[in-house]
Structure 1
Amino acid sequence: MLILDASAFIMGYEPSNIKTKQFSVPSVLRELIPESTPWIRFMIALEGCLLQVQAPTESYLKEVEKASVKVGEGKKLSDTDRDILALALELKDRGKEPVIVSDDYSIQNIAESKGIRYISLSTLGIRYLLKRTLYCPACYRRYPSSYISETCRVCGTKLRRRTTRKTLATRGEKGE
């Protein structure tokens, strides 16, 4: 079962070429430019019953929010990214084996942390699961990834992300 991000349609993914069940979220359609080729692919798949569009439940969105803060990706996720991850978690909890199709490294990083499989169409995908924190490049103060402001509370400099831990990615596969 595939969960399709906007990048899948943008990179030329053709839902009619695959026989497995395919899902997406309503916010993916909003990311596609109306009447563009990716938008047309999405609409043809939807109208041809090749693609099921489903919004995730609120409890799974909250779970994604917690996971994104834990790995330091919280500010990098769009609403669509959160929806894709939440739907994958929801389907996984129902006993399905979802595979997210996305070129977005933040989605892949969180999927990796939650044991969800993912594939990339135009990039090699992530090689490492990264845990990140925020820091001030001017005064070197550290902030938790849940810190809301984008600037240092001491000196006002824009915060940056730093990798604090790197683990080899398994692409959500067990035993690999």
Structure 2
Amino acid sequence: MKRVLDASAFINGYIPEGTENYTVKSVTDEIRDFKSAMVLERALSDGRLRIMEPDPESMREVDEVTSRSGDAMRLSSTDREVIGLAVSLKKRGGVTVITDDYTIQNTLRILGIDFSSVLTSGIKETYQWRKICTGCRRVYPQDYRFEECEICGSEIKKKRYRSRR
């Protein structure tokens, strides 16, 4: 079984076993504390961890799904790459992502990709996000960049709601 590791896996003490552990280069750049950096370096030097980048088709799929779910506004580029790598590897067989990040877990569940947490119990339900005016209740697209409603001038808030999936 292939495993994709997010930065939270290293930060929260996950030690990769076996030889089918993968991460993206940007995750290695996020690791700053000494203990996590040592685990990462040891796993790389022992061949227990490989750095691999997602293919463009998988990244397009991630962008489409996160745009629809509203998770795009909550994910960093590194988070998107981790999910993209999981999508790429899923095409070649089973994959599990090791992460404590709830937004990543939400997106993975929508994509039908397994995940496992290190310290947290993981998400219980899948959510989607909307941008809604607090005054007139107008719903705005995820890429709407302003903080005030163009109709009534009230504040725009991000609201989550349960996904049907």
Write out per-residue CA displacement over residues 133-173 of structure 1, whole angstroms, 9 at most, x where no aligned residue: 1112244221123x2414234155553222233457xxxxx
Deviation at 1:43, TM superposition (A): 1.0
1:21 equivalent in alignment to 2:17: no
Name the stretch that deviates more: 149-158 or 19-28. 149-158
Write out per-residue CA displacement over residues 14-68 of structure 1, whole angstroms, 9 at most, x where no aligned residue: 12xx2251111101011111x6111111111011111011011222111101110
> How many residues are aligned here?
163
**Partner of residue 60 from structure 1, selected from 58, 61, 66:** 58
**Partner of residue 143 from structure 1, selected from 140, 145, 156:** 140
* Residue segments in structure 1 that go unaligned for 5+ positions in a row: 169-176
* Residue segments in structure 2 that go unaligned for 5+ positions in a row: none
1:163 equivalent in alignment to 2:160: yes
Which residue number in structure 2 is paired with residue 32 of structure 1? Answer: 31
When the two structures are superposed, what TM-score results if normalisation uses the length of structure 1?
0.85
Runs ≥4 residues deviating over 6 A: none
- Label 1:158 to 1:6 Cα distance change in 2 as closer, same or farther (>3 A): farther
Output the CA distance in 2 between the equivalents of 1:98 and 1:62: 19
Q: Over aligned residue pairs, what C-alpha RMSD do you find?
A: 1.8
Output the CA distance in 1 between the equivalents of 2:114 and 2:70: 20
Identity of aligned residues (%): 32
Write out per-residue CA displacement over residues 63-91 of structure 1, whole angstroms, 9 at most, x where no aligned residue: 10111011111110001110110000011
SS of the equivalent of 1:128 reads coil
Q: Within 5 Å, give how 1:118-137 maps onto structure 2.
A: 118-137=115-134
